[in-house]
Amino acid sequence: MRSVSEFSAEIAALYDRVQAGPLNPVWISLVPKDVALERAREVENHPEWPLAGKTFAVKDNFDVAGMTTTAGCPAYCYRAEKTASVIRRLQEAGALLIGKTNMDQFATGLVGTRTPYGACASVFDSRYISGGSSSGSAVAVAKKLVDFSLGTDTAGSGRVPAAFNGLIGLKPTRGLLSAHGVVPACRSLDCVSIFARNCAEAHEVWSVARGSDPADPFSREPRAGEGAAPWLCSDFRFGVPSREQLEFFGDHEAEQLYWAAIENLHAAGGEKIEIDFTPFRRCAELLYGGAWVAERLVAIKDFFNDHAGEMDPVVRGIIGGAAKQSAVDAYEGEYRLRELCIEAEKQWREADVLILPTTGTIYTHEQIAADPVKLNTNLGYYTNFVNLMDLAAVAVPAGFRSNGLPFGISFIGPAFSDEGLLAVAHRYLGGTAPLVEKCPGCVEVAVVGAHLSGELLNSQLTERGARLQKTCRTATDYRLYALAGSVPPKPGLIRDRNFRGPGIEVEVWAMPEDRFGGFVAAIPPPLGIGTVTLDNGDAVKCFQCEPDALSGAKEITHFGGWRAYMASIEIFNLGD
């Protein structure tokens, strides 16, 4: 980690490095060096800021006060009066903006070649594309010009460039990061995305950047339990399409790397579930084959009407196709999307996350020039459906082909699963320290008797989506009793601070917090939910007993737990 006290010297050296070569194709404009150095000196005085000492870049469809915004089209250029909300959040946390990066014009493309500022290339081989539309943002991070960057993602623009440059590409839940001050592609679908070199840094930036914004009508925050990832601290189920539904466009090495990644996921605690990819694929076809392309025209309608001839011809053709769409088409597309989401729900009932190739292959600049639309469509095979279905995704590296080109996979989950996806991706990539200490959006519940795994009431946990985290013991000052007359048989747990015993065996489960209230409401007296201290000092919710219920109860503390006690009864009965 860099020393914040040396930050201004590092910024000066960075500008010397960047300005020693041509600005394009990575950059479209830079923050003036003197402004950046002044900011760096301010950061040096505040090492406590969460992102102090971090540098970043933004795609040139983000507004920065005093700088021009081009959206990849010089004729569209204007000078911004205000800075985009998400950039302000990062700056207030101490991050230093270096400049604005190249992009596929009007964020229309997954290739990184639809720009008059020069096509970016993969950092691993200049003959191959960088991916787009957030091309410059990805390359700036991959070349270590900045620590992280912001892009946007409608169809995969925050994920494809990550795959082609060996990066983490976080596509958050729609609306979780404010898009106020960002030139939209499809406003109802757009996401601000994050490029970083590891999951920990992506998580750090996401934690700062997220938050509701009254200036963005699409901004939103999760309700209780919406971001729950109870599977994170246990074995997780990951969905994989059947081999017949996978497409690698003749790239056999990419296929081999994908199945190798699936094997590695088993080692990371995953259980493979085969899913039907059909509803996801059909949904992906709606993005450019349906009325959503009309949103791209809405974003720049006045400019398009007056300056279409000054646009990239491929982008002009795609956006101009919106003229063929009607309001009837829009409603029919929305109805079809709802149907496909319902079909996809069947798959989500089986899998916690989907694991897909980020792209099936990679193309050279020459190949893209020869067939720009079809090959771009191929790159969206595994990405185009994600925002339409209101999902979150994290693209991560997953090995290299024999020619040195990278391959990547994506972890995809329901809306607000961002943190859980980052954490499980971190585990897959070999992260030793957990990215998050507890399962996001969950309440930890310790159970001691009839709710244990395999016992009669365990379904009250599993039907609410709870997952077993661990088996452990309470602190030593707890006593356990077999309650008289309870059906089914149940124990009562009592704390006695003057007692020292073996500790009582418990299971700790993670339950989505929106399911916890119903679970508690179903508990009959004399039991209730309190807080128990575990043998490692952690405090979690747990079944506890009303003291007056101990009349007639049998103390079974010496057994160390309910299972051992019940086993002793079975042995006694067999002896009879």
Catalytic positions: 59, 133, 157
- Asked whether 78 and 69 are in contact (CB, 8 A), the reply is yes
Amino acid at 568: S
Provide the edge-to-edge strand list for the sheet that holds 491-495: 491-495, 478-482, 554-555
What H or E segment, with its residue span, contains residue 536? Answer: none
Q: Which residues pair with 357 in a beta bridge?
A: 409
- Asked whether 72 and 112 are in contact (CB, 8 A), the reply is no
- Asked whether 490 and 527 are in contact (CB, 8 A), the reply is yes
Could you list the beta-strand ranges (E) of 78-147: 78-79, 96-101, 121-122, 125-129
- Angstrom distance (rounded) from CA 444 to CA 512: 9
- The packing angle between helices 278-289 and 327-348, to 10°, is 160
Amino acid at 415: A
Bond prior to 230 in cis (omega within 30° of 0): no
For residue 390, the 8-state DSSP code is: T
Phi, psi of 334 (to 5 degrees): -65, -40
- Angstrom distance (rounded) from CA 243 to CA 250: 14
What H or E segment, with its residue span, contains residue 327? Answer: helix 327-348
- Asked whether 132 and 193 are in contact (CB, 8 A), the reply is no
Bond prior to 188 in cis (omega within 30° of 0): no
Hunting for tokens 């690698």 — which residue is that? 248
**What token pair was written down for 265?**
């996921």
What H or E segment, with its residue span, contains residue 130? Answer: none
Query: Of 101, 173, 84, which Cα lies nearest the Cα of 141?
Result: 101
For residue 60, the 8-state DSSP code is: T
